[in-house]
Amino acid sequence: MILDAHMHLGEDIIFNTDDSEEALLAYMSEHGIDAALLQTGILPNDPKKANQRLYDLTKKYPGKFFGAAVLSPYTERSEYESFMHWAVKDLGFKALKLQGFAYCAAPASPQARKIFDTARALNVPVIIHTGNGVPTALPSMAIPIAKEFPDLKIVLAHAGGGMYGCEALIAAQTCENIYLETSWCSVLDLKSYVETIGCSRLMFGTDVPLNAGVELAKYRALKLTDDQYEQCFWKTARDVYGL
Ligand SMILES: [Zn+2]
């Protein structure tokens, strides 16, 4: 069983991708990926429509697709809260995402704070983009907010994205409520995460269909035990997101 904890559906104007429902089903079947946690593309023109499109896929394939909601942190607080209430309570989404890179908002900034308050009220984890987009996307930027919200599960998407992999490790070592989703991190980083924080705080993710084979090869290169693979490939995401 493999669960991809990081995939996008639809147009992404930052990374110039536009993966359709058919493209998602095709990469999953090609790589033996059973389920995926979806987000919209970055900076969608119409966030409501883009999140609704995720929902439509989760509804069509129950247990195969799940949603994580994204909205600009610059949205006025009450509007942000009601949007996320709709996403979690009506659409059944499993997490809120801070795309600090696209919106230039650090986790502890006044704009982003509403994401953590809202996630706590709705009892869902927050996914924070890390890697490209410094300084807002530095993994260390998540440490103060993770300490302030110790009851909230925080997932560092891309685990520092290669360049800041060692910082992601320090963040996870510093805060027990920080988990790492490992798309784009190096194989050496991945090895050090397995050996230090352990598989119960690591989750497999791909980010784009084209990257799925690379991410699988990275894990397979480490020759982990069956239990370790099961933990990274689906159990951590299941437990963190309550899937
Ligand atoms: Zn992504």
For residue range 171-212, what is the model confidence (pLDDT) as tens digits? 999 999 999 999 999 999 999 999 999 999 999 999 999 999
Sheet with 202-203: list strands edge to edge: 17-19, 3-12, 35-40, 65-70, 95-98, 126-129, 154-157, 178-181, 202-203
Cα 159 to ligand 1 centroid, rounded to whole Å: 12
Cα 154 to ligand 1 centroid, rounded to whole Å: 15
| pTM confidence score | 0.96
Cα 120 to ligand 1 centroid, rounded to whole Å: 22
pLDDT at position 43 is: 80
For residue range 122-175, what is the model confidence (pLDDT) as tens digits? 999 999 999 999 999 999 999 999 999 999 999 999 999 999 999 999 999 999
pLDDT at position 182 is: 98
Cα 222 to ligand 1 centroid, rounded to whole Å: 24
| H or E segment and range at residue 90 | none
Cα 7 to ligand 1 centroid, rounded to whole Å: 6
Domain 3-241 has CATH 3.20.20.140: yes
pLDDT at position 21 is: 95
Q: Where are the domains of the chain?
A: 3-241
For residues 86-105, average pLDDT:
92
Cα 6 to ligand 1 centroid, rounded to whole Å: 6
Cα 89 to ligand 1 centroid, rounded to whole Å: 23
Q: Identify residue 73 by its one-letter amino acid code.
A: P
